[in-house]
Amino acid sequence: MVIRAESLRRRYGETVALDGVSLAVEAGEVFALVGPNGAGKTTLIRALTGTTRVDGDVEVFGRDPAAVAGERLGLLPQEFSPADRLTARELVARYAGLYDDARDVDAVLDDVGLTAAADTHYEDLSGGQKRRVCVGTALVNDPELLVLDEPTTGVDPAGRRELWGLIEGLAERGTTVVLTTHYMAEAERLADRVGLLADGRLVALGSPAELLERHGGTDRLVVEVDDEEAATRALERAGYHVLPDERHLAVGVGPGEIPAVVETLGDAGVDHERLTWRQPGLEDVYLALAGADVDPRELESEAAA
């Protein structure tokens, strides 16, 4: 067992950041914590890495997180702004200097795909390259456990997928990875298991497939209309099940029923802007479990990623 946490609680004044969170992470596992801003993800990461004290019991490698040798742990915080004036190589070398037995700097740069940009100043790198440098600084000590807090926030879609490939490669080599994200596609692609956080509570835990089977709901037709109230009335009168908690109107139907839905809307005088049929994903699971407390715009689905 790499991480064990029992009944973690943390308050900031009147705000409850963690409300009785318990979880465990096995060696070699990729574990993702999913939720919108304010769900408690960063506070939980800080508790697991010993940078925030919490009520409850938490162990990393069987010890208090603050007592774990630095060589065993790599951490990339959400807010990380290295010196712009340094090159990628200089930045990685700077962090390598913190350890007695650091990895070869050029080998790390190769791992994160920055060999060609090694002598480029940080300020001149692309968003994806900058985040790769940051990941590289967390890898110089060859950690057994890599903790990444929102590793792809602010990175363009192409750069995001490059980082996904890097994390997948680390996992294949046996590194235990814990990451937080509000990108649903990121969790579905990378994680062996996912923990869904809402208002400081762990509302569900399991593999992406298990969570979808338990809580994903039915296939659906997502309809963008100008008048959702009129569309809902027309569809419900026709016997369709209109699904709640969607960014747009959603109807629980299969692809073969799409023409009939369109005809129902047309007969009611409701114009639609776009129709999208899709199967449920982790965003649907999260919204089903967290309910009205979550703004779906704070969660990014496959389409946005």
Rounded Cα gap, residues 83 and 106, in angstroms? 19
Average pLDDT rounded to a whole number, residues 119-131: 91
How many domains does the chain contain in total? 2
Q: Are 150 and 181 in contact (CB under 8 A)?
A: yes
In a domain, 291, yes or no: no
pLDDT score of 6 more than 80? yes
pLDDT of 215 reads 87
The residue among 24, 28, 1 whose CA lies nearest residue 177 is: 28
Q: What is the pLDDT of residues 162-217, one digit of tens each?
A: 889 989 999 999 999 999 998 888 999 999 999 999 999 999 999 999 999 888 87
**Angle at Cα 168 formed by Cα 81 and Cα 284, nearest 5°?**
85
pLDDT score of 303 more than 50? no
Residues 110 and 45 in one domain: yes
Local structure of residue 102 (DSSP, 8 states): P
Q: Are 267 and 152 in contact (CB under 8 A)?
A: no
pLDDT score of 56 more than 90? yes
**Angle at Cα 55 formed by Cα 52 and Cα 58, nearest 5°?**
70
Residues 248 and 185 in one domain: no
Residues 259 and 179 in one domain: no
Residues 56 and 159 in one domain: yes
pLDDT of 291 reads 65
Q: Are 145 and 176 in contact (CB under 8 A)?
A: yes
In a domain, 305, yes or no: no
Q: For the sheet containing 201-206, what is the strand order?
A: 73-76, 145-149, 176-181, 30-34, 193-198, 201-206
In a domain, 303, yes or no: no
* CATH number of 248's domain: 3.30.70.980
Q: Are 223 and 265 in contact (CB under 8 A)?
A: yes
* CATH number of 134's domain: 3.40.50.300
Name the band, by pLDDT with cuts 50, 70 and 90, for residue 11: very high
pLDDT score of 244 more than 80? no
Mean pLDDT for the chain overall: 89
Residues 127 and 231 in one domain: no
pLDDT score of 294 more than 60? no
Residues 209 and 230 in one domain: no
Q: What is the pLDDT of residues 265-291, one digit of tens each?
A: 999 999 988 898 888 888 888 888 876
pLDDT of 32 reads 97
Query: Quick one: residue 49, left, alpha or beta (phi over 0 = left, psi -120 to 50 = alpha)?
Result: alpha
In a domain, 296, yes or no: no
**For residue 161, what are its two tokens?**
């997928």
Long-range own/partner contacts, residues 251-254 (CB < 8 A, 24 or more apart): 251/220, 251/221, 251/223, 252/217, 252/218, 252/219, 252/220, 253/219, 253/220, 253/221, 254/219
Residues 32 and 168 in one domain: yes
pLDDT of 299 reads 62
Residues 144 and 265 in one domain: no
Residues 241 and 101 in one domain: no
Cβ partners under 8 Å of residue 231, min gap 6: 223, 225, 249, 265, 268, 270, 272
Average pLDDT rounded to a whole number, residues 90-100: 95
pLDDT score of 296 more than 70? no
Q: What is the pLDDT of residues 211-242, one digit of tens each?
A: 998 888 778 899 998 898 999 999 999 999 89
pLDDT of 302 reads 45
Range(s) of the domain holding residue 259: 218-279
Q: What is the pLDDT of residues 106-116, one digit of tens each?
A: 999 998 889 99
pLDDT score of 45 more than 60? yes
DSSP 145-214: EEEEESTTTT--HHHHHHHHHHHHHHHHTT-EEEEEESBHHHHHHH-SEEEEEETTEEEEEE-HHHHHHH
Rounded Cα gap, residues 125 and 122, in angstroms? 5
Name the band, by pLDDT with cuts 50, 70 and 90, for residue 301: low
Residues 205 and 225 in one domain: no
Residues 168 and 19 in one domain: yes
In a domain, 298, yes or no: no
Q: Are 236 and 242 in contact (CB under 8 A)?
A: yes
